[in-house]
């Protein structure tokens, strides 16, 4: 049920067209809640049918024009209800960790190279998050909204830091395995 709430959040922040919304998803919310453009457009239709959002009136004919959406009071109330509700953490499911467990019983062929690839990807993502932090959260930018948004970004930074450290440790362990040859 989180995708509709992610869309409501984005639309409360700024009324947008579907295209603008998908672009904003790609640049921000998509870092921690991904959705395809098709999923976003489908949810916009459902949210409008449920009375949570509406298409903004356009001065020009609608045919061929992009629709912009805004959140209605019922949508804001739903978002507030969902935000206040208790929710248990989801169990972590990561194929890489499962593959590591499987490597313990079937052998490690190919996995070291993939660990290095994952490390590169996590280093890249960490650098991107740190750049966003420098750009969007300079000292003194401390309104309540900014502080909460920064906390979300810090979660991403902390997770990427964890993964870069863990992957580095895993590669060190590989180097110490009996019969190990560098990949």
Give Cβ neighbours of residue 123 (< 8 Å, ≥ 6 apart).
160, 164
Residue range 98-138, pLDDT digits in tens: 999 999 999 888 899 999 999 999 999 999 999 999 999 99
Q: Determine what percent of the chain is predicted with pLDDT higher than 90.
A: 67
- Tell me the CATH number at 35: 1.10.10.10
Q: Mark whether 99 and 58 lie in a shared domain.
A: no
Range of the domain at 37: 2-84
Identify whether the C-beta of residue 16 lies closer than 8 Å to the C-beta of residue 24: yes
* Domain-located, residue 115: yes
How many beta carbons lie within 10 A of that of residue 77, not counting itself? Answer: 12
Q: Mark whether 19 and 38 lie in a shared domain.
A: yes
Q: Mark whether 58 and 101 lie in a shared domain.
A: no
């Amino acid at each position: 049920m989180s995708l509709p709430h992610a869309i409501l959040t984005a639309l409360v922040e700024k009324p947008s067209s579907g295209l603008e919304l998908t672009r904003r998803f790609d640049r921000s919310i998509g870092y921690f809640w991904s959705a395809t453009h098709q999923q976003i457009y489908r949810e916009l239709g459902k949210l409008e049918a449920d009375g949570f959002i509406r298409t903004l009136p356009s001065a020009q004919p609608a045919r061929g024009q992009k629709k912009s959406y805004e959140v209605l009071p019922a949508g804001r109330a739903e978002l507030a209800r969902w935000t206040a509700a208790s929710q248990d953490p989801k169990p972590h499911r990561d194929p890489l960790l499962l593959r590591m467990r499987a490597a313990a019983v079937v052998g490690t062929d190919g996995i070291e190279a993939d660990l290095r690839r994952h490390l590169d990807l996590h280093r890249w993502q960490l650098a991107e998050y740190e750049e966003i932090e420098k750009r969007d959260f300079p000292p003194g930018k401390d309104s309540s909204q900014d502080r909460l948004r920064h906390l979300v970004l810090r979660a991403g930074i902390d997770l990427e830091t964890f993964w870069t450290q863990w992957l580095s440790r895993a590669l060190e362990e590989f180097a110490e395995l009996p019969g190990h040859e560098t990949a």
